[in-house]
Structure 1
Amino acid sequence: MHDNHPRTITTDALPEVITRYLKAHHAHDTATAVAAFTGDATVIDDGNTYHGTAAIERWLGRSATEFTYTAHLTGTQQTDTTHYIATHHLEGNFPGGTIDLRYQFTLHDDLIEHLTIEP
């Protein structure tokens, strides 16, 4: 049970698995990124849901090739011991050119069980 009031934390305070996932995702290292998820993890991105590592692997592979962009971590928050938010500012050749996205993580046994990416 949590009170849904995220508090700001330093990027160093993010769990290692989230940092590892974000670095791998931005480096297009799909194998390392997928390994950060539980076997039955779910990712929701751009209104689409990807369930399980095979679907997440396909999503990561596609997002790596669809657009070219830079992402800068602009904020990190923690709601409780299993819920974290990492906000990124993206600039690139996607529609609109810039966007701020909130990566909302739910952890289970030191792995990512759920990730929602939304503005």
Structure 2
Amino acid sequence: MSNSNLPAVVTRYLAAHNARDLDPAMACYTEDAVAVDDGHTYRGPAEIRAWLARATAVKYTTTLLSTHRVDDEHHVAVQHLEGDFPGGVVDLRFQFTLRGDRIAELVIEP
């Protein structure tokens, strides 16, 4: 699956997130960004970086299943994950809200 219909910042973020590369991933967020994952909300660079650092400890592979442009500011990428986490397999919706050329909010849910 190609991610060519996603904005450049989303493509960069997904690549950095999947590579577990914190600095490039963090560069994609606004200073007041919010990330929601597994029922927890992370606000601002310090909390988001700590969340991403914990996520890098989990071993998993990803496959991009689909992408969807809702409007200019909202985009969805569905990824299939397999790895060393409870259940071992999950499809997750990465729901991005953009402000300008950066991510203002990311909600990850099944």
Q: What TM-score, normalized to structure 2? A: 0.97
Query: Does 1:37 find its partner at 2:29?
Result: yes
For residue 38 of structure 2, what is the amino acid of its counterpart? D
Counterpart in the other structure of 2:43 = 51
Please provide the CA RMSD for this pair: 0.7
Counterpart in the other structure of 2:70 = 79
Counterpart in the other structure of 1:7 = none
Deviations 1:31-80 (A, max 9, x none): 10001000000000000000001111111111001x21001100000110
For residue 16 of structure 1, what is the amino acid of its counterpart? A
Query: Does 1:110 find its partner at 2:101?
Result: yes
- What is the number of equivalent residue pairs in this alignment? 109
Spell out the pairing of 1:59-70 with structure 2 (5 A cutoff): 59-65=51-57, 67-70=58-61
Counterpart in the other structure of 1:4 = none
Structure 1 runs (4+) deviating above 3 angstroms are none
Structure 2: 5+ residue stretches without partners: none
**Alpha-carbon deviation of 1:93?**
1.3
Rg bigger for which structure? 1
Query: Does 1:14 find its partner at 2:6?
Result: yes
Query: Does 1:101 find its partner at 2:88?
Result: no
Counterpart in the other structure of 1:6 = none
**Alpha-carbon deviation of 1:109?**
1.1
Structure 1: 5+ residue stretches without partners: 1-9
